[in-house]
Amino acid sequence: MSSSSLQTVLITGANRGIGKGIVTVYLSKSDVTVIAAVRDLESISTKALSSLPKAKNSSLITVKIDSSLEQDAIAAVRTLESEHSISKIDVVIANAGTSASLGPVASITAEQVLDNMTVNSLGPLFLFQATLPLLQKSSQPKFVVLGSQAGSISAMEKAPAPMAAYGSSKAMAHYFVRKIHFEHNDIISFAVEPG
């Protein structure tokens, strides 16, 4: 089977939680190349990914992407092209995220807001920009962001948890993915709320 007929999926935050679950599901399908993007290639949880069951003609590639670092996504794409002969990506799932600080608007610090924004908002933006050329080579490209009800303006009354830094960072991520939808009508893009 040629590499162009395989489905290629990239998932960030792929070595635990929801990300690992997504990796497991895609590896259980035939003819899929799963790219597991993680912060630490040497961690026990990353190394454990290689023992996940794989369906016929499916394979796993691990790459380093720290979502807080713009250059990581760029370097990962270069590695995928040069070392793994990846010529297209069909699905990108921006799963990596943080909810490092809780608190109401009156008490959050700029540092807490920036920490959340860097990973939860800019991380998906960096990932989209780096993977865009490979997404555009797919016949049905998809860019998915794991969002959150905490980032919904209209749902704020129903979810009054003190998550100002996290919620605002997810609202920005929702905005970016919706904007991608309108700016790139060749790419299916949307946010999903896993909880």
Residues 190, 182 contacting (CB under 8 angstroms): no
* Residue in 83, 76, 84 with CA at minimum distance from that of residue 131: 76
CA separation for the pair 128, 89 (Å, rounded): 11
Strands (E), 46-141: 59-64, 91-94
CA 11 to chain centre: 5
Residues 148, 193 contacting (CB under 8 angstroms): yes
* Residue in 83, 81, 90 with CA at minimum distance from that of residue 33: 90
Q: Which of 54, 170, 175, 179 is catalytic?
A: 170
CA separation for the pair 54, 91 (Å, rounded): 18
Q: What is the end-to-end Cα distance of the chain in Å, rounded?
A: 37
Clarify whether 166 is annotated catalytic. yes
Q: Which of 47, 56, 64, 166 is catalytic?
A: 166
Clarify whether 175 is annotated catalytic. no
CA separation for the pair 5, 170 (Å, rounded): 34
CA separation for the pair 127, 105 (Å, rounded): 28
So which residues are the catalytic ones? 166, 170
